[in-house]
Structures are given as C-alpha cells and as structure tokens.
Amino acid sequence: MSETRGRIVSATTELFRSQGFNHTSLKQVTAQAGAPTGSIYHFFPGGKNELGAAVVRESGAAYQALFEVMADEADDIVDAVGGFFDGAAEVLEQTDFIDICPIGNVAREVANTHEPIRLATVEVFAGWTAALADRLARAGLNADDAGGLADTVISALEGGFMLARARRSCDGLRATGAHMRRLVEAALAGDLE
Amino acid sequence: MSETRGRIVSATTELFRSQGFNHTSLKQVTAQAGAPTGSIYHFFPGGKNELGAAVVRESGAAYQALFEVMADEADDIVDAVGGFFDGAAEVLEQTDFIDICPIGNVAREVANTHEPIRLATVEVFAGWTAALADRLARAGLNADDAGGLADTVISALEGGFMLARARRSCDGLRATGAHMRRLVEAALAGDLE
DNA sequence: GCACGGGTGGAGCGATCGTTCTAGACTCCC
DNA sequence: GGGAGTCTAGAACGATCGCTCCACCCGTGC
C-alpha cells in the first residue's frame, strides 16, 4: 500500500546485508529510507523486532522467487544449482562483497536472543529447502534424499557467503558451487547409497 | 600469564557463541568473567575490538587443535571429516544449540564494519582450510583440488551450524556431514574431474 | 466547509553503550 | 622500608540506543 513502508523495508534490508541486525540502528534506517521514526512505528508497532522479522520474511521470499526463475530458465536442476552459486559470486564481486544474503546474517545473530525473528528465519529456510527438494524430487530423487541434499546445498551456499565475504574472494564459493553441482549430479545418477 | 585475562577471553567466547559480537556488551563480560572494566582495558587497550580479535584468534586456534587431534585419531581423512560433523551435531544438541562456532558468528557480523576483526577471521579460516587441505593432499589429492574441497567442507560446516541453530535440529547438519564424507571419498577415488 | 483517520515529522525519554579516569591493592626488587 | 610496575575496582562521561509521544499535514466522505 504505502510506498513508505516499502522504502523502510528495503533500506533495512540493505543495512542488514552489510552490517547485520544488531549493528543497524533505527536512526540509520530513517536516514536511508527518508522516513521519520513515527512511520517505522506506524507500520511496525512491534518496533525493531517486528521490522527485522518482516525484512527476513520478505527478502527470503524474494530470494526464493529468484531461485524459481533461475531454475525454470536452466536446462536442469544440476545447472540451476551451479548457476546459483556462480551468479551469487558475480553479484558479490560486483558489489565489493557487500551484497550478501541478509537472512543468513541475521539468522546467526538472533538464534538465541530474538525468538520471533528466529522463527522468521526458520520459515524462510523451510521455504528454500522445500523449493529445492521439490525440484530434486521431480528430477528423480526420493523425498528423504532430496531433503538432505537440499539442506546440504543451502548450508554450503550460506557458509560459502561467509567465507567469501571474510576473505574478499569468491574462489572458494565457486569451488563450493562446482562441488555441489557434482554432488547433485551423482545423487541423480543414483550414487547416493 | 594472568588468569584474569583468560577468564575475560573465555567469558567473551561464551557470549559470542550465543549472542555474537554486536549483542555482547562489556558489562556482560565483566559480570561473567568476574573482572572489572579496568582489567579489560588493561589487557586489551584497544577495547572491545581488540578483545574481539583475540577471542577469534584464540578460539580459532583451539578448534584447529581439536580438528588435528580428531583427525589423528580417525582411521583416515574421510572418517575425520564425517566424524567432525557428527561430533559438532552432538555438542550442539547437548548444549541446547548454544555451543556454536563463535568465529562464524562474528565473521558475518564484522566483515564490513570492523576491519581488524575481519582480518582475524581470515587468519583463522586460512589456518583451518590449510590444515584440512594438507591432510587431503597427504591422502593423495593435488594441491588445487585439496584447497577447493577444503573450502567446500568448511563452508558446509559453517552453513550447517547456521541452519541447525535456527531450526533447533541437527538433522540437516548430519545429512550435510554425510554428503561431505561422500564428496571427500569420491575426490580421493579420482572422480573429481 | 468540516470532521476524521491514516500517515508524517521530530523532540525528547530512560537506559545502556564503549570508554576514560583515578584511586587503591598487591608483588617484587632495591 | 620504599618505590615501581602490574593489576583490580568501579564511578562517571558523552554518545547513542530503541522507543514514546504529540503536533501536524492531507485526502476523503459527509
């Protein structure tokens, strides 16, 4: 409805990307969004926690939509997985290693301290792994194996982000993507057990 | 030398584990360590940043030493990798998902905002991947492949921690460990290219 | 023209942050 | 015994935190 709400959410998303949840202040949000404090509390009466949860949910949904589009365009699920890692590496390099997944940032920060936001991250991860597992199952994997493999790919992606950003190099992330590609390939070929 | 310094570092390590860098206040550190503010600034004149960097470096070295011991005791590098994931999952469950790697927590928080700590995380990751790559190379892998595979395993481990802690379940972490085991096995068998 | 409600704008609250500073206790060498 | 240096102890500082509160603007329905 209101475009102000959208500006607040996207400004906060950007700030979470580069500084995480705890290091982002509402003053920074108001400055970057060009919105006053009152508007934040108008749209998010629960304050920073509610805003944080909304950011996690909405940008989580956006990433999932992006994955679906890329997977639809790819030749098969193997290429889709490999392409997602390569695409992420490219974006990371182009943005000077700032444009990292904000959900992963927040997830490790709040898991023990901000229960409502933790639940939002769980929802997002569940959506991602379900979307990937579904495509793996449609490619021929049984449901159990598809779930475990999806968890592995998402774990490697998030951990790869962490390593790439710390090092300011995407070499490891690309190598990880290549290994995930290989892993999916082998699983679909029936080499899993 | 001083046991107070040790108490400060280990108290901070515990706090970083469960709340990360930005959410940990020096007041909490003094309370948990039973040491006054003055002592923190005596041992770490650079304040919170210097303390944080020391915690990253020292607990990073401790994890590396643990890995070396486990790898020495394991039958081979394949079992060592698998065992490390399983051991981590067990510890996570026993500590109600609190005892997670503090370096990974801090790494994503500070990568864009606290350069000295970021450099400490880079050093630690370099030590870990070098230690793992060295064992992979000794098992027969060429140096390039060993480096890429080590990055993949460390990424999957850290990402697996993130997922496990958010979900409060280690199922995905164990599945990821099994896949890493399989990946190392395949690489050593020469199925890499 | 007027009342009303969604939304804007920002001053100011108490609490807490990282840090500084000074005073004192303890240990060791002269 | 005395002086130096190491370490402990915590009060206090300015800055900043998340948040509350209220005055105001403006489009819409009557």
C-alpha A130/C-alpha A175 separation (Å) is: 24
- State whether the Cα torsion B33-B37-B40-B43 is positive or negative: negative
Using CA atoms, how far apart are residues A56 and A105, in angstroms rounded to an integer? 10
Residue B1 has pLDDT above 90, yes or no: no
Which residue from B183, B138, B139, B134 is spatially nearest to B157, judged by alpha carbons?
B183
pLDDT of residue A183: 97
The reported pLDDT for the residue numbered B192 is 60
Residue of B nearest to A23 (CA): B22
Placement of tokens 């990937």 in the chain = A132
Residue A2 pLDDT level (bands cut at 50, 70, 90): confident
Nucleotides of chain D touched by protein CB (<7 A):
6-12, 16-23
Residue with tokens 């690489």: B187
- Is residue A193 very low, low, confident or very high in pLDDT (cuts 50, 70, 90)? low
Tell me if B179 and A113 make a contact (CB, 8 A cut-off): no
Asked if B156 has any chain A CB less than 8 Å from its own CB, the reply is yes
* Distance spanning both ends of chain A, measured CA to CA: 51
Residue B18 vs residue A1, higher pLDDT: B18
Closest CA to A193 of A135, A122, A141: A141
Contact of B9 with B58, CB cutoff 8 Å: yes
A155 touches chain B (CB under 8 A): yes
Measured in whole angstroms, how far is the alpha carbon of residue B78 from the centre of its chain?
19
Section B56-66 average pLDDT:
98
For residues A98-107, give the mean pLDDT: 94
Q: In degrees rounded to 5, what are phi and psi of residue B16? A: -65, -40
Contact flag, residue A116 CB and nucleic strand D, below 7 A: no
* Closest residue of chain A to B146, computed from CA coordinates: A175
**pLDDT tens string A151-184:** 999 999 999 999 999 999 999 999 999 999 999 9
Q: Which of B1-5, B89-93, B175-179 has the lowest mean pLDDT?
A: B1-5
Distance B35 CA to C16 C1' (A): 19
Mean pLDDT of A97-107: 94
For B107-155, what is each residue's pLDDT tens digit? 999 999 999 999 999 999 999 999 999 999 999 999 999 999 999 999 9
pTM: 0.95
CA-based nearest distance B71→chain A, Å:
22
Average pLDDT, chain A: 96
CB proximity A20 to B under 8 Å: yes
- Rounded distance in angstroms from the CA atom of residue A36 to the C1' atom of nucleotide C3: 26
Quick one: average pLDDT of B52-56? 98
pLDDT of the residue at B181 = 97
Of A82, A106, A89, A95, residue with least CA distance to A23: A106
The pLDDT-based confidence of A190 (bands split at 50, 70, 90) is confident
Put simply, whether A130 touches B (Cβ < 8 Å) is no
- With CA of A44 and C1' of each nucleotide, the nearest comes out as D19
Interface residues, strand C, Cβ cutoff 7 Å: A 1-2, 4, 34-39, 41-43; B 24-28, 37-38, 41, 47-49
pLDDT band at A99 (very low <50, low <70, confident <90, very high): confident
Residues of A in contact with B162 (CB under 8 A): 104, 107-108, 155, 158-159
Q: Do A98 and B112 touch (CB under 8 A)?
A: yes
**pLDDT tens-digit readout, A49-78:** 999 999 999 999 999 999 999 999 999 999
Among the residues of chain A, which ranges form H helices? 3-19, 26-33, 37-43, 48-73, 77-94, 102-110, 115-138, 143-167, 171-188
pLDDT class for B99, splitting at 50, 70, 90? Answer: confident
B112 touches chain A (CB under 8 A): yes
Provide the 8-state DSSP code for A76: S
Q: What is the pLDDT, as a whole number, of residue B190?
A: 81
CB proximity B49 to A under 8 Å: no
Return mean pLDDT, chain B. 96
Distance from CA of A150 to the nearest CA of B (A): 9
Stretch B29-43: mean pLDDT, rounded? 97
Q: Structure tokens of B87?
A: 């051991």
Provide the 10 A C-beta neighbour count for residue A100.
Answer: 23
